[in-house]
Amino acid sequence: MATPSHQTATMENKDVISAHVENTPIEMVAREDPVDILAHDSNIYFTVEEEKRVLRKIDTRVLPLMLGAYFLQQLDKSALSYTSVFNIQKDAGLHGRQYSWLGSILYIAQLVMQPLGAVLLVKLPTGKVISVAIFLWGVTMCGMAGCTNFRELLATRFLLGSFESLIGPSLVAVTQMWWRRSEQTNRTSAWNAMNGITFVFGSLSTYGLGHIKTDKLHSYQIIFLYCGCITLVFSVFSIIFFPDSPMEAKFWRENERDIAIERLRANQTGIVSRKWRWEHVIEAVLDPKTWCWFFLVMAISIPSGGIGTFGPLIVQSFGFDQFRTILFNIPFGVVNIIAILCGGWLATRIKSKGLVIAILALPCIAGASILLALPRGPGSKGPLLVAYYLTSFLAGITPLIYSWHVQNTAGDTKRKVVTGILGPLLYSAEDKPYYRKGLISNLCMFVFVEVLVGLIILYLKFLNGRHASMRSAVGKSAEVQDESMMRKIDLQALGKGVGESARAGMGQNGTQGGRREEDNAFRDMTDLKNEDFIYVY
């Protein structure tokens, strides 16, 4: 049951979200532009306990589907690297840099399809886009099992990359539309941690599948078919259960939808809009932050793509056989998980993603340096493995970049437009056992990450100062608290004086009593134009 304070607020404000949404059939809401639903001044009250109940429902209904989608994307993308130690080069007649191109073509497809993906994410329901993409790349993985030469594998890997290109930006968008900014880093870390789970699950599965001997199928074909079938099964569950947005989800009861929407007000980023706004696109292209995120993602994607494709071959170059190589790849995934979860926790704790990214880049620099310096031989296997595992800390950087970018970009179209090609091409089977070209490029990229993070932090501080001046110019307080990054206990303290109901959904310029000061939370404004927006470091 709603609390008395919530009931009062709802009764007194017939034009607010609760009256507009709660009394409207879900079918009508689905056809209406969500931003129109949210374009109402609302003054909804709810307790911390009510918000916790809603958050638990989001974490149990939405997050597991995100975890599964990202897990399968990483598993299917990484399947090529597992097949590399089971002689796909020989069985498919690959030579020269053809294996490298199979690794790179997926990232080329992702880059080519990003503009179309951005349009689809704005125009179409996000849950359905994700579900259809999962189904299509599952079909593609099954089709790869029938490929027997480079041209066929290249074509199907391009299709795989095209369909998978939607998942990263989609999950970033889903994270932004369901969770507060203070909650987003840990949720982004959770679904990115599936990258590490993939290493563990994929290595153990491949270890077993590699023992299957048949005259009809090569080992790589069995692995592709296995991954594709798992993906197709999951796509059915995704199509049925993945919600498109908080406004259109069908699992809400009573006033839960109102709370789910209102609790995001402090984000000042909006939730979702089905309108393509060219002014957002233009601002995204001209915004220096867009290019900062782009180069930061590229700087980490180059080593990530290279190591992701050639990782097992690098381990094999230390002097291990096929099955030991697969087993020694498992700790790499474990370090992935630790780096991602600990990085997300630390960034949330100290409220600084830039600093944590800089810290995580240090073991990567050390690992790449050791791999370049140590000779290959029986006496170096242990230190080489440790160095290889140190480079795994790069996995903790990617989710922090995702959440950093999302938390500092507002406007639905702009955010989806903003959101790994060279990596595999910098490695070649001909360069074994040292793979110097690839490792040197990785080392340079890790150092570049350190420099770029410092520049981004300085620029975000400058933008916060400019927004403070903009607030003063329109008669608002220059100094405001960013409630979207505050803990629930702190938000509850802010609710003193409102009876039993904590103003947990209060905006950044909210007041302790009466109606909140007018803000731009749900007006689909970009971050540069919204003076209420606060950038996080």
Domain boundaries, the chain: 8-41, 55-243+278-464
Total residues found in the chain within this entry: 537
Q: Is the pLDDT of residue 22 over 80?
A: no
**Which amino acid is residue 295, in one-letter code?**
F
Q: What is the pLDDT of residue 9?
A: 36
Would you state the structure tokens that stand for residue 420, as one six-digit string? 């790994």
- 287-339 pLDDT, tens per residue? 787 778 778 877 887 787 777 777 888 888 888 888 888 888 899 999 999 99
* Residue with more model confidence, 471 or 407: 471
Confidence (pLDDT) at 364: 92
Q: What is the pLDDT of residues 422-468, one digit of tens each?
A: 444 454 555 556 667 777 888 888 888 899 889 988 988 888 788 77
Q: Which residue has the higher pLDDT, 417 or 133?
A: 133
Residues 440 and 34: their CA atoms lie apart, in Å, by: 48
Closest residue by Cα to residue 71 from 348, 424, 333: 333
Identify which of 436, 461, 516 has the alpha carbon closest to the alpha carbon of residue 483: 516
Cα separation, 48 vs 34, whole angstroms: 25
Render pLDDT for 69-80 as a digit per residue (tens, 0 to 9).
999 999 998 899
d(CA 174, CA 66): 9
| 205: enclosing H helix or E strand | helix 194-209
CA 355 to chain centre: 19
Angstrom distances, CA of residue 369 to CA of 71, 355, 471, 495: 30, 22, 48, 52
Mean pLDDT computed over every residue of the chain: 77
Contact criterion met (CB below 8 Å) for 237 and 147: no
**311-336 CB burial, b ≥16 within 10 A, e <16:** bbbbbbbbebebeebbebbbbbbebb
Looking at the predicted structure, is the pLDDT value of residue 421 above 60?
no
Chain-centroid distance of CA 440 in Å reads 27
- In this predicted structure, the answer to whether residue 499 has a pLDDT above a threshold of 70 is no
In Å, how far are 107, 124, 259, 280, 441 from 418, measured between CA atoms? 17, 18, 29, 10, 25
Whether the bond into 433 is cis, omega within 30 of 0: yes
Residue 144 vs residue 273, higher pLDDT: 144
- CA 223 – CA 92 distance, rounded (Å): 14
**What is the distance between the alpha carbons of residues 118 and 123, in angstroms, rounded to a whole number?**
9
Check whether 258 has a pLDDT greater than 90.
Answer: no
Taken in order 104, 105, 108, 114, is the CA torsion positive or negative? negative
Neighbours of 119 (CB within 10 A): 15
Q: Which CATH architecture has domain 55-243+278-464?
A: Up-down Bundle (1.20)
Q: What is the residue-wise DSSP string for 33-45?
A: -HHHHH-S-----
Q: How confident is the model at residue 46 (pLDDT cuts 50, 70, 90)?
A: confident
Nearest to 195 by CA among 81, 117, 290, 271: 81
C-alpha to C-alpha distance for 391 and 315, rounded to whole angstroms:
12
**Nearest Cα to 132, choosing from 235, 272, 241?**
235
**pLDDT > 50? residue 246:** yes
Query: What is the Cα–Cα distance from 71 to 75, expressed in whole angstroms?
Result: 6
pLDDT(507) > 60:
no
Beta-carbon contacts of 198 under 8 Å, excluding residues fewer than 6 positions away, are 71, 74, 75, 78, 333
